[in-house]
């Protein structure tokens, strides 16, 4: 392929439109800009929270004030003015129809492919839809509650199941865990709460969909998933935002508790607005996700497809505390244009015979920087623990960067850790092979990239796999290394 076509194709990718970039015109209420104890009291009052939760927020805020912005990631983050953000924005409820969803909002989610009405054709998925700072609807609650499953927005859970929330909140990600987790603990707005009782296998996929709409706001969602003994749940998360010149902050905390013999499968397709081809705008996605395999034989699996966000700072982690527990992390991270991603995982082995597996595939194109950062830690008690990590990076174009920063710590002689990483571009041989058989260069690249990411994509639930494959094609279609 000659240089000119290569250039054209690269321009084509840069020109790809972000299809979820529209703004919904609904009447919204905001609280004043800035962050102080009064603002936190105001958020808490708006959500009619009990006293203990307000204290929790204020405690977190005081810790946060003493903390510094983390600078260790391989990212160039412009200084964020935390006083210049609106910490709460919600669509106004229609006073005539307080129970119903605003038709505008329903239309928005419909356009995003997230039906808020319970339709027979999509009976396989229950959705909790979060619009800016509030959850607008949670579907299939009735059907789920018949099995004893609690699936609702976080605010409702605080009101209806305060004991459960109090027991598990901040039990996996402590308030002072890191800068953004502390910020989230102080100002979190809405998210999902999910509790699967003993021995129940959740009959449908649960999912949360996060949408940022209002200008000048940040989204601080909080999700808590508890899987009691012997239960199973598959949970999916998706997100989009409008196209804007400004950067918006999204700092979420996700906590997962997996009890004895329970299994949780957590999948994310992250598609926040990544900014334009010149690197203007886009979401800053600074997320703390952590799960604990508390009981024997518990299992937690993370699958993520990261295609959006101007900057991603995200390390879904697992603490393997129970004996014989296991965890997996599958990730595809795609960066294009001026996007930056520093993402990976932490596997902390405490229990005996614990197992973990990490498969990370990074694809960088344009002027982007894509890093894998991971920690595998075998504590002295982790007898016969086992980890295998594989991190591959694919470079498309000569202006981007792909980096791998693993940290492997072993303090147990019976534990075995393996790590391997490779970096390369799409090989000329593979392209030639495809061309020779009549497959055009663009199609060939699509084929190769898809094959490269297959190991991860195949782990996604059906509902997501299709979307993820489409996303990969949109962001990388026709690119040539």
Residues forming the site for other proteins (CB under 8 A): 74, 378, 380, 393, 395-425, 481
Q: Which is nearer to other proteins, 234 or 317 (CB)?
A: 317
Cα 317 to Cα 298: distance, rounded to the nearest angstrom? 15
Cα 107 to Cα 427: distance, rounded to the nearest angstrom? 44
Q: Which is nearer to other proteins, 305 or 395 (CB)?
A: 395
List all residues 6 or more positions away from 220 whose beta carbon is below 8 Å from its beta carbon. 87, 133, 183, 184, 187, 188, 189, 250, 251, 252
Radius of gyration (C-alpha) of the chain in whole angstroms: 22
Q: Which is nearer to other proteins, 5 or 83 (CB)?
A: 5
Q: Which is nearer to other proteins, 28 or 340 (CB)?
A: 340
* 375 strand-pairing partners: 346, 407
Q: Which is nearer to other proteins, 65 or 409 (CB)?
A: 409
Residue 338 · residue 396 · CB < 8 Å: no
Tell me the two tokens of residue 296. 């024997």
Specify the 3-state DSSP secondary structure of 252.
coil
CB of 11 to other proteins, least distance (A): 17
Alpha-helical regions (H) of 161-228: 162-168, 179-187
Cα 47 to Cα 29: distance, rounded to the nearest angstrom? 13
Q: Which is nearer to other proteins, 101 or 378 (CB)?
A: 378
Residue 286 · residue 256 · CB < 8 Å: no
CB of 10 to other proteins, least distance (A): 12
CB of 100 to other proteins, least distance (A): 53
Q: Which is nearer to other proteins, 297 or 374 (CB)?
A: 374
| Burial status of residue 197 (CB atoms within 10 A of its CB: 0-12, 13-18, 19 or more) | middle
CB of 407 to other proteins, least distance (A): 5
Q: Which is nearer to other proteins, 65 or 414 (CB)?
A: 414
Tell me the two tokens of residue 174. 């402590």
CB of 274 to other proteins, least distance (A): 20
CB of 368 to other proteins, least distance (A): 11
Other CB atoms within a 10 A radius of the CB of residue 238 amount to: 24
Calculate the alpha carbon distances from 356 to 268, 291, 318, 384, 390 in Å: 19, 13, 9, 12, 12
- CB-hemisphere CA count at 13 Å for 231? 26
CB of 402 to other proteins, least distance (A): 5
Q: Which is nearer to other proteins, 29 or 418 (CB)?
A: 418
Tell me the two tokens of residue 24. 């919904």
CB of 222 to other proteins, least distance (A): 32
CB of 339 to other proteins, least distance (A): 15
CB of 390 to other proteins, least distance (A): 10
Q: Which is nearer to other proteins, 11 or 422 (CB)?
A: 422
Q: Which is nearer to other proteins, 390 or 469 (CB)?
A: 390
CB of 138 to other proteins, least distance (A): 43
Cα 258 to Cα 298: distance, rounded to the nearest angstrom? 6
CB of 378 to other proteins, least distance (A): 8
Specify the 3-state DSSP secondary structure of 122.
helix
Cα 312 to Cα 53: distance, rounded to the nearest angstrom? 29
Residue 479 · residue 445 · CB < 8 Å: yes
Tell me the two tokens of residue 336. 């294009």
List all residues 6 or more positions away from 471 whose beta carbon is below 8 Å from its beta carbon. 269, 271, 305, 307
CB of 298 to other proteins, least distance (A): 25
Q: Which is nearer to other proteins, 383 or 455 (CB)?
A: 383
Tell me which residue of 386, 340, 347, 338 sits closest to 362, measured CA to CA.
Answer: 340
Crossing angle between the packed helical segments 428-436 and 441-457, to the nearest 10 degrees? 120
Q: Which is nearer to other proteins, 184 or 371 (CB)?
A: 371
Residue 134 · residue 155 · CB < 8 Å: yes
* 376 strand-pairing partners: 347, 408
């Amino acid at each position: 392929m000659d240089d000119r076509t290569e250039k054209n194709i690269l321009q084509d990718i840069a020109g790809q439109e972000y299809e979820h970039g529209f703004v919904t015109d609904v009447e919204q209420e905001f609280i004043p800009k800035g962050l102080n104890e009064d603002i936190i009291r105001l958020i808490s009052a708006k959500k009619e929270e009990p006293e203990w939760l307000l204290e929790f927020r204020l405690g977190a805020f005081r810790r946060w004030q003493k903390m510094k912005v983390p600078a260790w990631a391989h990212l160039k983050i412009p200084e964020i003015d935390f006083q210049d953000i609106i910490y709460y924005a919600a669509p106004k409820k229609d006073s005539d129809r307080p129970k119903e969803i605003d038709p505008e909002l329903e239309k928005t989610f419909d356009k995003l492919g997230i039906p808020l009405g319970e339709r027979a054709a999509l009976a396989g998925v229950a959705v909790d839809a979060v619009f800016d700072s509030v959850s607008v609807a949670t579907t299939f609650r009735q059907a789920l509650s018949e099995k004893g499953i609690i699936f609702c927005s976080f605010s409702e859970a605080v009101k209806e199941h305060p004991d459960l929330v109090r027991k598990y909140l901040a039990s996996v990600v402590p308030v002072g865990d890191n800068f953004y987790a502390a910020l989230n603990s102080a100002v979190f707005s809405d998210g999902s709460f999910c509790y699967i009782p003993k021995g129940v296998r959740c009959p449908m996929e649960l999912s949360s969909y996060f949408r940022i709409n209002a200008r000048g706001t940040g989204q601080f969602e909080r999700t808590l998933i508890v899987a009691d003994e012997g239960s199973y749940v598959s949970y999916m998360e998706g997100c989009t935002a409008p196209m804007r010149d400004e950067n918006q902050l999204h700092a979420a905390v996700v906590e997962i508790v997996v009890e004895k013999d329970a299994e949780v499968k957590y999948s994310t397709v992250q598609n926040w607005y990544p900014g334009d081809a010149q690197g203007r705008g886009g979401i800053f996605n600074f997320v703390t996700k952590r799960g604990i395999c508390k009981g024997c034989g518990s299992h937690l699996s993370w699958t993520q497809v990261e295609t959006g966000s101007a900057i991603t700072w995200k390390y879904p982690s697992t603490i393997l505390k129970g004996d014989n527990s296991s965890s997996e992390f599958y990730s595809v991270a795609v960066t294009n244009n001026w996007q930056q991603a520093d993402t990976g995982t932490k596997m902390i082995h405490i229990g005996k015979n614990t197992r973990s597996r990490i498969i990370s595939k990074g694809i960088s194109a344009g002027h982007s920087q894509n890093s894998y950062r991971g920690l595998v830690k075998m504590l002295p008690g982790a007898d016969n623990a086992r980890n295998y990590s594989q991190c591959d990076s694919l470079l498309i174009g000569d202006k981007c960067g792909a980096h791998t920063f693993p940290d492997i710590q072993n303090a147990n002689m019976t534990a075995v850790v393996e790590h391997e990483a490779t970096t390369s571009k799409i090989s000329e041989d593979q392209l030639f092979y495809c061309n020779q058989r009549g497959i055009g260069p663009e199609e060939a690249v699509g084929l190769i990239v898809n094959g490269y990411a297959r190991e991860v994509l195949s782990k996604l639930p059906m509902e997501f796999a299709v979307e993820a494959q489409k996303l990969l094609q949109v962001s990388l279609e026709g690119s040539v290394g």
